[in-house]
């Protein structure tokens, strides 16, 4: 396992950052917003992820599903935000958005793109352990499979979640199908940059629920992102490839 560094945010806290992972994504920063570039898969996943988030926003806070800004007055934190593929739509939904990523190069691209779009987003280069405060919505999509210690990472996310808040995650499942599609074929055929994934760090939904519980979180829902030759990527009950998670803090007794 890669060495981890000590965070300055919480005394004794172990950073979730893996330097090799940061370097991998930093190299892709200049073309992050290119839908045909190295992050093309994230561009394909984003509409499904956003629809899931919107569905849970409406359900969790009983919002008007036709409303254009259901996050008006709410704070949002996107951890491992990359160049802002999720932060920008969340800002358009009315949220006050903070995005944190370990790569300064990626954050620089995020700031530039948000400025060009006329969006005010608080982007920070660093570790979630260094943040303070609480957020109504915390998101971290396709990130937990890249951190040093998933259990510590989830606890850090839980510390940033406000009471009554909502946490949304997504990650590949730990199955032979995900290994075939994402690593053997995806990376092998250069549809995903080589070296992006380590199958040993993939997490099954069953293990995810245990990790969430250990972090003081209750799993509200899981939903799959599947692939088929006729439909391509789509939301599904089939979680063998990739899945989304909605969670909330366990209420204090």
Q: Please report, for the chain, the start and end positions of each structural domain, with discontinuous segments joined by +.
A: 21-249
Of residues 248 and 38, more confidently modeled: 248
Given this model, what pLDDT does residue 125 score? 96
What is the average per-residue pLDDT within 72-92?
Answer: 97
21-249: CATH topology is Rossmann fold (3.40.50)
Given this model, what pLDDT does residue 173 score? 98
Given this model, what pLDDT does residue 3 score? 26
105 within 8 A of 29, measured Cβ to Cβ: yes
What is the average per-residue pLDDT within 47-65?
Answer: 96
Given this model, what pLDDT does residue 14 score? 56
Residue pLDDT, tens place only, 3-36: 233 233 333 345 678 888 888 888 888 999 999 9
Q: How far is CA 111 from CA 7, 81, 125, in A?
A: 24, 11, 11
Of residues 80 and 9, more confidently modeled: 80
Lowest average pLDDT, out of 13-27, 109-123, 152-166, 197-211, goes to 13-27
Angle between helices 19-26 and 104-116 (to 10 degrees): 40
Q: Which two tokens stand for residue 71?
A: 């996050």
Given this model, what pLDDT does residue 21 score? 83
Residue 154 has pLDDT above 60, yes or no: yes
Given this model, what pLDDT does residue 6 score? 28
Given this model, what pLDDT does residue 253 score? 67
Nearest Cα to Cα of residue 178 among 221, 212, 225, 210: 225
Q: Which residues contact 153 (CB under 8 A, 6 or more apart)?
A: 16, 128, 144, 147
Given this model, what pLDDT does residue 1 score? 24
What is the average per-residue pLDDT within 177-205?
Answer: 93
What is the average per-residue pLDDT within 201-212?
Answer: 98
Residue pLDDT, tens place only, 190-201: 889 888 999 999
Residue 206 has pLDDT above 80, yes or no: yes
C-alpha to C-alpha distance for 48 and 84, rounded to whole angstroms: 16
Angle between helices 150-160 and 205-214 (to 10 degrees): 50
Beta bridge partners of 172: 242
Residue 60's CB is within 10 A of a number of other CB atoms, namely 18
């Amino acid at each position: 396992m890669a060495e981890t560094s000590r965070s300055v945010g919480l005394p004794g806290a172990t950073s979730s950052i893996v330097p090799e992972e940061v370097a991998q994504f930093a190299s892709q920063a200049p073309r992050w917003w290119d839908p045909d570039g190295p992050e093309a898969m994230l561009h394909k996943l984003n509409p499904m992820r956003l629809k899931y988030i919107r569905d849970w926003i409406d359900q969790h806070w009983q919002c008007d599903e036709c409303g254009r800004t259901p996050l008006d007055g709410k704070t949002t934190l996107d951890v491992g935000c990359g160049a802002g593929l999720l932060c920008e739509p969340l800002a358009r939904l009315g949220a006050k958005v903070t995005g944190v990523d370990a790569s300064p190069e990626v954050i620089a691209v995020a700031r530039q793109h948000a400025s060009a779009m006329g969006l005010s987003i608080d982007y920070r280069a660093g570790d979630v352990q260094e943040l303070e405060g609480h957020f109504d919505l915390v998101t971290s999509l396709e990130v937990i499979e890249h951190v040093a210690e998933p259990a510590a990472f989830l606890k850090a996310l839980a510390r940033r979640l406000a009471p009554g808040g909502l946490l949304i995650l997504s990650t590949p499942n730990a199955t032979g199908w995900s290994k075939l599609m994402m690593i053997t074929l995806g990376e092998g055929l250069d549809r995903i940059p080589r070296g992006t994934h380590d199958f040993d760090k993939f997490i099954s939904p069953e293990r995810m629920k245990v990790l969430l519980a250990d972090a003081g979180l209750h799993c509200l829902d899981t939903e799959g992102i599947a692939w088929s030759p006729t439909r391509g990527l789509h939301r599904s009950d089939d979680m063998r490839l990739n899945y989304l998670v909605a969670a909330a803090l366990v209420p204090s007794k």
